[in-house]
Structure 1
Amino acid sequence: MSNEKEKMMKKGKKNRNRWLHLRLSEEEFKILQKYFEESLCPKLSDFARLNLLKKPVVLKYRNTSLDDLMAELIKLRAELNSIGNNFNQAVKKLHSQSQVSEFKVWIMSFETDKKMLFNSIGEIEIIIRNLAEKWLQS
């Protein structure tokens, strides 16, 4: 190889003008496709090139138990938001009927429960957000 070509390759320029034609059986192609999908390579040609040149290929890795946990936590977050919204609507409705003194007493006594509920929802959302960030990085 000439010095000029070596310099170009070292600089990262990729002047790919050579074709490699390769025939595969259906089974071989399925295997290649499976491994490609498990990699982080954006194109099949990139994946094949890295393998042919014996360069490292970065593979995707997912912790399935963490995936399952995230699915459940997402459902829990949606359910908690729904409960919080329903609770808030009920309290607003009771506030609109403030002419009845019994409702006022109920509203005042449950205001503390409302604050506790929303604090708990906030804490759970923070935990879910932190777990989601860890999950996305895995």
Structure 2
Amino acid sequence: MMKDEKKNRNRWLHLRLSEQEYKILQKYFAESLSPKLSDFARKNLLQKPVVLKYRNQSLDDLISELTRLRTELNPIGNNFNQAVKKLHSLSQTSDFKMWILDFETDKKMLFNSIEDIRMTIRNLAEKWLLS
């Protein structure tokens, strides 16, 4: 049916717009899922539904927060891996005691980050349930 419609489109409509009107048209076209400006304009002129792109702000906020947490966790994970490698290379008791003291600081940072992630997930879940 679409091919028949395209074959029958032999009439031209010339339309002049101001710069401001054209910018508005371009803005709405960019927010739509229409592949071509002519399709978008035709649907609007003929009062047919136009599908718009939709951004879920809650999801955007969640992704932003998870990205921040991932960035925070990466160095902690690297420090943990380095600490375990160092543990495997220790041969004397004094070295082992020093490793334990160093590891305590990394462990506290890790647990604080885990608690931050837990609280963030809880807060995001509460916001999600309220929306």
Q: Which category of TM-score, normalised to the shorter sequence, fits these structures?
A: 0.5 to 0.7
Structure with bigger RCO (C-alpha 8 Å, 6+ apart): 1
Q: Extract structure 1 runs of 4+ deviating beyond 6 A.
A: none
Supply the distance in 1 between the matched residues of 2:40 and 2:52 (Cα, whole angstroms).
Answer: 11
Aligned length: 105
Normalised TM-score (structure 1): 0.60
Q: Once the 2 structures are TM-superposed, how far is the Cα of residue 17 of structure 1 from its aligned partner?
A: 3.9
Aligned to 1:45: 38
Q: Closer, same or farther in 2 for the Cα pair 1:82/1:42, shift >3 Å?
A: farther
SS across alignment from 1:72: helix
Whether 2:11 is the aligned partner of 1:21: answer no
1:95-110 maps to which residues of 2 (within 5 A)? Answer: 95-96=88-89, 98-102=90-94, 103=96, 106=100
CA RMSD between the two structures = 3.1
Supply the distance in 2 between the matched residues of 1:60 and 1:72 (Cα, whole angstroms).
Answer: 23
Supply the distance in 2 between the matched residues of 1:45 and 1:100 (Cα, whole angstroms).
Answer: 77
Supply the distance in 1 between the matched residues of 2:34 and 2:28 (Cα, whole angstroms).
Answer: 10
Q: Closer, same or farther in 2 for the Cα pair 1:86/1:17, shift >3 Å?
A: farther
Unaligned runs of 5+ in 2: 122-131
Whether 2:50 is the aligned partner of 1:57: answer yes
Aligned to 2:78: 85
- Larger deviation: 60-69 or 20-29? 60-69
Aligned to 2:2: 12
Unaligned runs of 5+ in 1: 1-10, 128-138
Q: Closer, same or farther in 2 for the Cα pair 1:19/1:82, shift >3 Å?
A: farther
Percentage of identical aligned residues: 70
Q: Once the 2 structures are TM-superposed, how far is the Cα of residue 24 of structure 1 from its aligned partner?
A: 0.5
Supply the distance in 2 between the matched residues of 1:28 and 1:81 (Cα, whole angstroms).
Answer: 48
Supply the distance in 2 between the matched residues of 1:94 and 1:41 (Cα, whole angstroms).
Answer: 59
SS across alignment from 1:90: helix
Cα-to-partner distance string for 1:92-114 (whole Å, 9 max, x where unaligned) = 12322x212351894xx98xx7x
